[in-house]
Each structure stands twice: as C-alpha cells, then as structure tokens.
Amino acid sequence: MVHIKDIAERPSRDDLKALSKFSPATIHEAQGRRGALSSRLKPVDYRMKLCGPAFTVRCAPRDNIMLQLAINYAQPGDIIVVSAGEYEEAGSFGDVLANACLAKGIGGLVTDTGVRDTLQLRELGFPVFSLSACIKGTVKETLGTTNDPVIVGGELINPGDIIIGDADGLVVVRRQEAQEVAKSSQAREDAEAGYIAAYKQGKSVVEVSNLEPVLKAKGLVVDL
C-alpha cells in the first residue's frame, strides 16, 4: 500500500526569509561548499528564483502521476522536488500543471527529468528548474512515494530541507542548519562588500586577497 505523506516539519518563515536574501552560490560557499545540486539542473528562465521547503516525490521515469499527486497535496510555498531517475527524454510538466501550482500558491518545481511548454512557463513566471526541455509526453501508471528522502542532482534532499535557486543553480540547506547558514552567508556577503570597496579605493586583487605570500611560496616570478 502506498501512503501520501506530508512534510513532517517545515522550516519557520523567519528562516526562509533569512535565507531568501542570499544567492545559492553564496549559501553554497558559506556552508562549507556543501549542498550544490548538479549544474545540469537549470531554470527555464534566468529570472526565476525560488526558496522554500522541499516537498519530495519519487516518480517512475516518463510517468507523472505522482507529480500530479504532489501538486494536489503540497502546501502554499512548498517546492516540489521530483526524483525521476535523471530521465531527460520526457516532458513531465508543462503550462497546465504550472497553472495548477500557481492556483495553489506552490513555490516552485525542481525535477531531474524534462519539462515542456517552456515559452508558456516563462510567461507564467512559475519557477521551474529541470534537467531538460522535452516535448515527449508521459504516462500515469506507477505509484511512488512522497516526502521520503530523495537524491536529486547528486544531493540528498530530505522533506522540509530548504531549496534555494536562481539563474546560477540550486542549493539545499538542512532545515536544522538554516539559522547558522544564514549568519555565515551574511558574513560572507559583508566580507565581499569589503573586497569591492578596497578595489574601488585602488587596491589590487593580490593585496586584497593577500596572495603575495602564497605566490612566493609557489615560486612565482613576475618579469614586468
């Protein structure tokens, strides 16, 4: 018997708001270069962004019955994260289901399979990150699971983990680590603002990054 399960525990609104201020690249670096999903997963439109708790669902390749159930049971703000075997030759999601998501207030979709109707998805503005764009249709036959841990884009994603995405890619943050990662991300942004200010004051990248002793130790000789 297959059971439809909800996310056991969602992150707080404060934690989501705190992390949503930062790019996935900043968060990835700030949490020790962890959590980056495969760079093969990209948004349908570069302007698309998402940040929310992962509502995970496991689908059979070229089958979207479980994705439709996930849309039916997900809550507003949830990011539906689909594990479908990294199968590129299927368009398992398009403008019709995107409208269903928008009507429910779902926060976005991340899938390791294909989507279609990409022009309409761009016009709708619903955040969609996928492995491919493919016109091939799907069946509705095989039941799977919702809100079990899945591996998508090479990363383990637990239900309720926080997914953040923008034009550069996606990163996952463990729900229990959200506050710590937000603080580390702010510290990183503050440091980078300091680097930029130093460049504008005329300092070189070698000075700002303190590269001279590193380069000297490696035997670099500059003949200028």
Q: How high is the pLDDT of residue 3? A: 86
- Two tokens, residue 91: 């368009």
Q: Which amino acid is located at 190 in the chain? A: D
Tens of pLDDT, residues 139-148: 999 999 999 9
Q: 13-182 sits in which CATH class? A: alpha beta
Q: How high is the pLDDT of residue 2? A: 80
CA torsion, ordered 47, 94, 164, 168, to nearest 10 deg: -50
pTM equals 0.95
Q: What is the mean pLDDT of the chain?
A: 97
Pairing label, strands 128-130, 108-111 = parallel
CA torsion, ordered 199, 200, 202, 206, to nearest 10 deg: 0
Distances, alpha carbon 215 to alpha carbons 52, 108, 204, 205, 210, in Å: 42, 45, 14, 13, 10
Domain boundaries, the chain: 13-182
Question: By the 8 A CB rule, do 1 and 145 touch?
Answer: no
Tens of pLDDT, residues 23-54: 999 999 999 999 999 999 999 999 999 999 99
pLDDT class of 82 with cuts at 50, 70, 90: very high
Question: By the 8 A CB rule, do 19 and 178 touch?
Answer: yes
Tens of pLDDT, residues 139-190: 999 999 999 999 999 999 999 999 999 999 999 999 999 999 999 999 999 9
